[in-house]
Chain A
Amino acid sequence: MDLTLNIWRQKDAKSKGRFVTYQLKNISQNCSFLEMLDILNEQLIMQNQEPVAFDHDCREGICGMCSLYINGRPHGPDDAVTTCQLHMRKFKDGDTIVVEPWRARPFPVIKDLLVDRTAFDKIIQDGGYISVNTGAAAEANNILVSKTSAELSMDAAACIGCGACVAACKNASAMLFVSAKVSNLALLPQGKIEAKSRVQKMVSKMDELGFGNCTNTYACEAECPKLISRSNIARLNREFFCAKIA
């Protein structure tokens, strides 16, 4: 298929960006979206132009490194996939595709389609773990965990930290991301001990880093490539409330 691409180009964090239009011919349906960008870049290099910079690594939908706002949707038109797992069969011959970086204040653009997501790491650093030193663990089967809790915890833990939820949210809220971590740990007996301080620290860090408030529109859930459920946000709110009154 033949395509017109409108891609955001920006030299670095300080420069102003703009859209640039490119034409691509003969793209196979079975090509992934990033492989399509590889082909574009190969073309640009051959024309002695700078290739488009974008983040990616595993290319199998698990590392959370790829991003991209494609035709107005984080990770593009297909549901429940990351950009690296999006395939060109979701587009038609002659389509124009608009490609932008995540747009959210806490995720400044570094270059072209690459953004800085270290704010997510900072939130996790503020309590997104269980404080156990190496060697201090008890025999694994000493504390039983119900299958239901383990499964629910795993549902939340499937978050890949890509930032699509923030990019999708009109307030750039990180509630889905934070609530996924809070739930993952709060649902397990091992995580209960620090649950109160964890939720308070993580939420206040999120606010401090400039993420917006959650106004319950749930665009985050709709765009999450890993189908993280909004029920985690409800759980976070409960945990937060309990921590406050305790």
Chain B
Amino acid sequence: MAELQAKIPNGPLAGKWTNYKDHQNLVNPTNKRKLDIVVVGTGLAGASAAASLAEMGFNVKIFCYQDSPRRAHSIAAQGGINAAKNYPNDGDSIYRLFYDTIKGGDYRSREANVYRLAEVSNNIIDQCVAQGVPFAREYSGSLENRSFGGALVSRTFFARGQTGQQLLLGAYGALSRQIKLGMVTMYNRHEMLDLVIVEGKARGIIARDLVTGKLERHFGHAVVMATGGYGNVFYLSTNAMGSNVSVCWQVFKKGAYFANPCFTQIHPTCIPVHGDYQSKLTLMSESLRNDGRIWVPKKKEDAEKHRKGQIKAKEISEDDRDYYLERRYPAYGNLVPRDVASRAAKERCDAGFGVGPTGLAVFLDFEGAIKRLGKHVIEERYGNLFQMYEKIVDENPYENPMMIYPAVHYAMGGTWVDYELMTTIPGLYALGEANFSDHGANRLGASALMQGLADGYFVLPYTIQNYLAGEIRVPRMSTDKPEFEDAEKNVRNRLEKLIGIKGSKSVDYFHKELGKIMWEYVGMGRNEQGLKKAIELIRALRKDFWKDVRITGSLEELNPELEKANRVADFLEMGELLALDALTRNESCGGHFREEYQTSEGECLRNDLDYMYVAAWEYLKDGEFELHKEPLKYEEIEVKQRIYK
């Protein structure tokens, strides 16, 4: 059993990171050239890390499953990225960003990590501007900010509704430059299928060339995984079709702990589900809540009429509208954090006030904002989102309010890492959404982009040296070593086994069934009975999968069904751990809402005495996991009930 050492530096909170950097080990330039680093993932976290490491002189190999590194799912982030610049002069500071993030995470994240995140946030904006990211500007030419949920200040930088795209293109540019210089070798259309460990240390990966189907071995003195989040365990989510848990799961099985899997985020403003052929859910950015007001009809009759298509939203008079977020949370109003907004929408719909054909939708209304600011301002701010909405729903949101409903969006949980972002396997690092560290039980909007880039540009390039300084005498290893051979053999066996099942049901069938179980019992509201049932159902489904899945084609060719099957097989195991973690956490906090633990007003009831810890799970064998607790200590801030009223 690896011991949980978070390796948090000593000293006062605000000085920890400086203190760390002042005393860590560094690798000298000649030795950097002798060291290879494998980076898996080209999203904000992976691309920024790879580019920065290569600039420093390390040899980097980087992998992604898409046809180009620029297509990682970070590209889809819409609303913005936070930083504590305080340009609007509204009282922001590093401390306030840190505080909001800890509170937003419902006091379940690590203080020192979050402080560091807030500390480097400003450098990220500087870096991105220098790369040519066309952030929104004021008429004066300075950078513009807007507000996001869970904050009383405007600290979000944005590039229209395409902030993730622009930030990723910046990182992709930096990566491309290093590829040209020969410092980075790019492996696109490649999927990591296992981690190789030699004498207890991460030393490489097994990857499959998705075009030829060939298995490959790649050595690295260290391995960095930045493979994104696992929201697709719910099948329908705002994630990309290929987003997966597989790398987190592979390393989990090799000894890396998995932390807080039950902390998943349901985003309040997504386009509602409309059919069983549906493959994904589309997010409508949180930034819309700056100008849009959320409401449902006050009268059940009106809601019912709307469901039947007998009235339009506009025909419901102002007095008959319930702006329930403004009513319940006057201080934050429409800008309450996501978990709060999502639960409030569910509460209204469950109570019979939902609208739209399914009754599982609420209005997000811009009428007032259009009157106040003019249509052109709304168009400038959210044009692409309005267009996207219209293309999908076939209704003009300038004229009728949007209809939205919560959907699975983000994974706060992930591979456990210490302060240096190292997992419990020496030499293996996890960055970005793939790790668990900074968002606790609920992530605030515009903080994932910040974290991904903080990890990749400003944290890992330092901390990895502290480890690599001890590896400079290790020569490049031959991939003929038995450890590589064994790992490859295991991968081949698994893939052959999958293809050999030749059952009667498609991979998508299993993924959809899993999604239904997860949404029903492990979604926005969870309870003991439901979670136990979910575990049972998932186990049965998993068994059926390994008996009855049908994968066409072969191993030695481009085979999207095989790729999917391999990912779904992991989701079928991970879903169980997620439910188990939710069952074990007998409290409600952030995105984890246990129906048994709520206040009389329906708010989360945390239990700090018993559950103020990170749940770090160790894999024992199929369906058997052991819980390790990393206690959370708050030295700088007072732990309070989270109130947004």
Contact = CB atoms under 8 A, between A and B. Distances in A.
Interface of A: 12, 28, 30-32, 34-35, 38-39, 42, 44-46, 48-51, 53, 55-65, 78, 80-81, 85, 87, 89, 110-111, 114, 116-118, 120-121, 124-126, 128-141, 143-147, 150-151, 153-154, 157-158, 160-161, 184-185, 187-188, 190-191
A64 B552 contact: no
A125 B177 contact: yes
A63 B560 contact: no
A39 B506 CA distance: 11
Given A114-B558, A121-B69, A158-B162, A60 B169 contact: no
Most buried by B among A48, A53, A114, A135: A135
Given A87-B391, A144-B141, A48 B68 contact: no
B608 interface: no
Given A51-B560, A85-B388, A190-B130, A57 B142 contact: no
25 contacts: A35-B277, A38-B277, A38-B279, A45-B550, A48-B552, A65-B67, A65-B71, A117-B68, A124-B176, A129-B132, A130-B132, A134-B457, A135-B127, A135-B458, A139-B126, A140-B85, A140-B143, A141-B142, A144-B141, A147-B138, A158-B162, A185-B132, A188-B134, A190-B129, A190-B130
A184 B162 CA distance: 14
A191 B127 contact: no
Interface stretch (B47-55, B251-259, B522-530, B583-591): B47-55
Contacts of A157: 134, 159, 165-166, 169
B605 to A, nearest CB: 36
Contacts of B387: 80
A135 B570 CA distance: 38
Interface in B149-168: 159-160, 162, 165-166
Contacts of B122: 140
Contacts of B76: 58, 60, 62-63
B274 interface: yes
- 3 nearest A-B residue pairs (beta carbon): A129-B173, A144-B141, A137-B130
Contacts of A131: 177
B70 interface: yes
Contacts of A46: 506
Interface in B266-298: 274-275, 277-280, 282-283
B561 A134 contact: no
B639 interface: no
Given A30-B394, A49-B552, A140-B126, 13 more contacts: A48-B552, A57-B242, A63-B73, A111-B557, A118-B188, A121-B176, A129-B177, A134-B458, A137-B131, A141-B143, A147-B139, A161-B70, A185-B132
Most buried by A among B131, B387, B461: B131
A145 B137 contact: yes
Most buried by B among A57, A136, A141: A57
B275 A31 contact: yes
